[in-house]
């Protein structure tokens, strides 16, 4: 899938081919690609050993650097930290942590990825539920008022009356 990455220092955008991989344990960018595109790489405090899917050690050895950038995909924007390693022909891999956080809707037959679900981690929220608002008349009884006004607001219930609300 195509995503946009924005460099934080220059705000320059880079179009990227990203691979969704439920077997990957993180977000990864090819080191050569990152250097060619001029991403600012930050050294990690502690290197991470990387194994390929077949169990062999990755030819790029340990992960020693990360890139922090903004990622854009179909109206979705988030700040991400991507580990640098040797991916050869793949530019970026979005692994299980990204997939689990966003839970995208994937249409495998059409090759479409949709961000239709809501993730509190990345800031996408469910739309507010619509609530019915009803004016409570002064002559309505206490029982009706208690049904309409949440309990935490009962001590201020007189403001829900006609005279106080006008």
Q: What are phi and psi of 120, to 5 degrees?
A: -65, -25
Token pair of 115 as six digits = 């961000």
For residue 154, the model assigns a pLDDT of 67
3-state secondary structure of 128: coil
Q: What angle do CA 112, 31, 104 make, to 5 degrees?
A: 20
Whole-number pLDDT of residue 164? 52
Per residue of the chain (166 residues), what is the pLDDT tens digit? 899 999 999 999 999 999 999 988 899 999 999 999 999 999 999 988 877 778 787 676 789 999 999 999 888 889 999 999 888 889 999 999 999 988 889 898 998 998 887 666 665 555 554 555 555 455 455 666 667 767 777 676 666 555 554 5
Alpha carbon distance 30, 16 (integer Å) = 11
Fill in the DSSP letter of residue 91. Answer: S
- Measured CA to CA, the distance from residue 29 to residue 33 in angstroms comes to 7
CATH code 2.40.70.10 region(s) in the chain: 2-114
pTM for this one? Answer: 0.68
pLDDT, position 55: 79
Instruction: Return the CATH architecture of domain 2-114.
Output: Beta Barrel (2.40)
Rounded to whole angstroms, the Cα distance separating 34 from 7 reads 11
């Amino acid at each position: 899938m195509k995503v946009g990455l924005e460099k934080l220092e220059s705000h320059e955008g880079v179009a990227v081919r990203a691979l969704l991989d439920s077997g990957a344990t993180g977000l990864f960018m090819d080191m050569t690609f990152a250097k060619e595109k001029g991403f600012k790489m930050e050294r990690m405090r502690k290197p991470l050993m990387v194994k390929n899917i077949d169990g062999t050690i990755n030819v790029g050895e340990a992960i020693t650097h990360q890139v922090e950038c903004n990622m854009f995909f179909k109206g979705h924007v988030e700040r991400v930290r991507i580990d640098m390693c040797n991916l050869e022909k793949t530019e970026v891999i979005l692994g299980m942590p990204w997939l689990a956080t966003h839970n995208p809707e994937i249409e495998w037959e059409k090759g479409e990825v949709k961000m239709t679900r809501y993730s509190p981690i990345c800031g996408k929220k469910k739309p507010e539920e619509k609530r019915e608002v009803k004016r409570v008349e002064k002559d309505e009884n206490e029982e009706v008022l208690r049904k309409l006004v949440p309990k935490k607001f009962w001590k201020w219930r007189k403001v829900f009356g006609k005279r106080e609300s006008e």
